[in-house]
C-alpha cells in the first residue's frame, strides 16, 4: 500500500500513470471547468455542488483504468448509456465535455503514449453517450445524477 491507498498492481495502467493522485488531479481539473461552463453545469441537478459527481467519475475512471473497484462496489455495473439517458447528450454537450477533459488531461501531463490511450477512451466514450442528435441553444435541463 502507499499513502493509505488500496493495494494496486504495479503493472496496471492505473499505477503506471500515477494512481489515485493522478486521477484526483484529472477529476478536480475537469470539474473546475464544468463548474464554469453554463451549458454543462445545467446538467447537474446539484448545481455547483459537484462532490458526488466528482467521486463517481473518479471511482469509475480509476476502476476502468485498472485501479480499485470502488465504483463497482458502491454503484454496481457502470451502465454508462443508461445512466446518461435521462440527459439530452447532444454533440454540443459532448464537445463541451471533451474540451474540459482535454484541459484536465493537459494538466496531468502524461507521457504521450498514456495520454493517447486515455484520450482515445474519452473521445469514444463521449461519442457513445450521444442520445439527442438535434442541437438546441438552451442548456439541457437538470435531471438525475450523472454516472
List the chain domain ranges.
17-128
* Local confidence pLDDT in tens for the 147 residues of the chain: 444 455 556 689 999 999 999 999 999 999 999 999 999 998 887 666 799 889 999 999 999 999 999 988 887 776 675 666 677 889 999 999 999 999 999 999 999 999 999 999 999 999 999 988 866 544 555 555 555
Per-residue model confidence (pLDDT) at position 4: 46
* Superfamily per CATH, domain 17-128: Globins (1.10.490.10)
The rounded distance, in Å, linking the Cα atoms of 98 and 2 is 31
Q: CA-to-CA distance for 93 and 40, rounded, in angstroms?
A: 7
Amino acid at each position: 500500500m502507499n499513502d493509505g491507498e488500496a493495494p494496486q498492481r504495479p503493472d496496471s495502467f492505473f499505477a503506471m500513470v500515477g494512481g489515485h493522485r493522478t486521477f484526483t488531479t484529472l477529476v478536480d481539473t475537469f470539474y473546475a471547468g464544468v463548474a464554469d461552463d453554463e451549458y454543462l453545469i445545467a446538467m447537474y441537478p446539484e448545481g455547483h455542488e459537484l462532490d458526488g459527481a466528482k467521486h463517481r467519475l473518479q471511482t469509475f475512471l480509476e476502476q476502468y483504468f485498472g485501479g480499485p473497484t470502488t465504483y463497482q462496489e458502491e454503484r454496481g455495473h457502470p451502465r454508462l448509456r443508461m445512466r446518461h439517458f435521462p440527459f439530452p447528450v447532444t454533440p454540443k454537450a459532448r464537445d463541451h465535455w471533451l474540451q474540459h477533459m482535454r484541459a484536465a488531461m493537459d494538466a496531468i501531463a502524461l507521457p504521450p503514449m498514456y495520454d493517447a490511450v486515455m484520450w482515445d477512451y474519452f473521445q469514444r466514450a463521449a461519442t457513445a453517450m450521444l442520445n439527442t442528435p438535434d442541437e438546441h441553444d438552451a442548456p439541457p435541463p437538470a435531471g438525475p445524477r450523472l454516472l
